[in-house]
Structures are given as structure tokens and as C-alpha cells.
A and B are shown apart, each in its own frame.
Chain A
Amino acid sequence: MEHPEFDDYLWRGRGLEDPEVAALEQRLRPLRELGQRETFSPTSASVTSQRRRRVSHWRTVVAAVACAAGLTLAWLSRGRDVDSPAAVAGGSGQHSELRLTASGSLAPLAVERAAQWGRCHVGSGEGRAVVTLDLDAGGPGSLTVEGAPARLAVCLRSVASALRTDVTSGDLRLELDFHPRTQERR
């Protein structure tokens, strides 16, 4: 052992108690339950945020819709070979399409964020999803994300997170249209 004087209590948490370490454990104890949830519930994240952020109604809607859709997509993807070599190489494989249509004053930003975060998480590095952007300046925008459902779930979750952290006012409506299908990749 590199340190023969190493305190056994610090390593094992029992035995001859080191008063200083034990006192620290006691002081830090309140943090143990901070943010812990008994169950896996990703959709509750947006609800928690409302208590501490200036969350306007649209952002709540965005987060809820995106999280719910993301979770749904994740579970739709269960058991599927979303990482199949064919899909990665761009050949025939499991293929899905999600169309996200945004309207309202914040539509351009929403679509921009969706594209930005979508690329960040499902972009060329992983090569399993394609994000295309069709946006008229200042008007309604639409975003089509194609790829494995599991990747889309990550994309949507990230969009929701990004949107609710950097915008404080405005209005936005999102419509999600999901089409699981199997077809030849473009």
C-alpha cells in the first residue's frame, strides 16, 4: 500500500471511527437525497425545473411534449437493431421519421436549437441520424429528423433541455408527428 498510515475507517466506513471523517459524513448527509428519485421518471425533470426557473407556459409544454415523445420513441426502439451495420452504412435498415413543426414567435429559435442539439448528439460522428432544416426567416419552421428511434429520443430530450435554459419569453407551439417505417435509406 502506498500509504501505510491509511485510515481504515476512510476505506471501509466502519471499525475504529475517525472522528473527523465521521463528522464530515454527518455534515454531508443532507446531500444524499438531493435530487434523488426512487423511480426512473425522466418526464418529471421539467416539473422540477419550474420551481426554480422563470419557466413560461410554452417552455413547460415544450419540455413535456419533447420528453414524452422522447421516452415513447426510446421504448418504441426497444429490441430493434438500431445500430445495425446496414443502418450505419446508409443501406437498408430500420428507419423512422419524426416531423417537428413549430409555430409562434420562438419557432425559429426552437428549430435552430433542435438542429443544433440534434447534430450534437446524433450527428455525423455516430452516423445514424440525419437532421434537415427548413425554416423561413421569422415564420413557422419545420424540422425533420430521420434515424433510429433511440437516437431521436436523445435528440428530443436535448432540445427540451436547451430550450428551457436560454429563453425567457415568447410563445411556441410544437407538433410532433412520428412515423416508424422500414424503407430504403436515402
Chain B
Amino acid sequence: MRLRAGPPVLDTDAALVARAREGDEDAFELLYRRHRRVVHGVLLSRVPPREVADALQEAFTRALAKLPSLRDPAQFGPWVVTIARNLSVDLLRRPTFEVVDDPLGATAPMADALAVLELIRQLPEAYRETLVLRLVEGLTGAEIAVATGKTEGSVRVNLHRGMTRLRARLRDPEMQ
């Protein structure tokens, strides 16, 4: 008789938060891997692209430090998204610095991607985050709603209106 392994049992966020609070580094690492794409998208829609790498780590560093204060461990996802949003506000308040050697945009595809991102970043805030999560990170509308704590209806509207505005900008030669 051949035994077949069943599907792996995935820990819930609440279980991982509980383990992380007990000092389990692997548990926090899993939380990072599970939510980093969403946090990355949130930051990409708000802070300069060259800041995203540092900001992503800083957002989770803050989450780790504040983990004891998280009231509902099951809401780790929307909670860390809120931390990322607040962090982006802090980062934009800090003094700017001189960029000596900017490796971003060194290749044509990356330069083109950054140009489109810039158009998205000029849209109203409500549309920016949703469009980046959908078009860059590849999340579905339903996944965006769960990850950000918004209603599906709100995400639908933001996606539709944001896309309409983005299409208009892409077709406007003065915006290119």
C-alpha cells in the first residue's frame, strides 16, 4: 500500500503571531514571506522606488517591535499594511538626500516600468495602491480587499476608476 502525503497544513496568521511573540524567528519569517508582496506594493505606490528596499525591511522591523501590541493576531495583514502606510508618511517627511549613483532605470524595461509607475503615482491616492497591487504584484481584486481590509466594492470602484484615469494618461502624449 502506498501512502500519500496530504496537502501541507498552513499555519494561520494568528498562530504565527502567537509563535513569533514567544520568540520563534521562523514564525515571523513566515509572516514576512506571506505578506511582503502586499507591503511591497503599498510602499511602491507611495515612496520613491529607490527607497522601497529599505522601507520594506523597516516596515517589518516596526511590525516585529510592535507585535506585542497587536490586538487581533488574525488581522496581522491589514495591520502591517497600516504600518507600511504610516512608514511611508514618515519617510516622505525626512530630509531628502543626494543620489550619487542611481542603479534604477539602468535597463530599458525597468526605465519603462518606472515611467508607467510614475503615471500611477500621479493618480489620487485611493487608486494608486489598488492599481499597483493589481498590476505590479498580480493580486486579484478579492485578494486586495482581504489584504488591505477594504471592502470588495471599494476595491472594484478604485480599480475601475483608477484604470480609466490611467488609460487616459497613457493616451495623452503630453503625459508621456
Contacts and interface: CB of A to CB of B under 8 A. Distances in A.
A40 B29 contact: yes
B49 interface: yes
Contacts of A165: 94-97
A74 B65 contact: yes
Nearest to A126: B69
A13 B94 contact: no
Interface string A26-42: 01111110111111111
Contacts, number: 172
Contacts of B66: 150, 154
Contact of A42 (B57, B99, B117): B57
A184 interface: no
B57 A10 contact: no
Interface residues of B, number: 69
B53 A37 contact: yes
A124 interface: no
Contacts of A150: 65-68
Interface of B: 20-23, 25, 28-29, 32-33, 36-37, 40, 44, 49-50, 52-58, 60-62, 64-69, 90, 94-104, 107, 109-110, 112-114, 116-117, 134-142, 153, 156-157, 159-160, 163, 166-167, 170
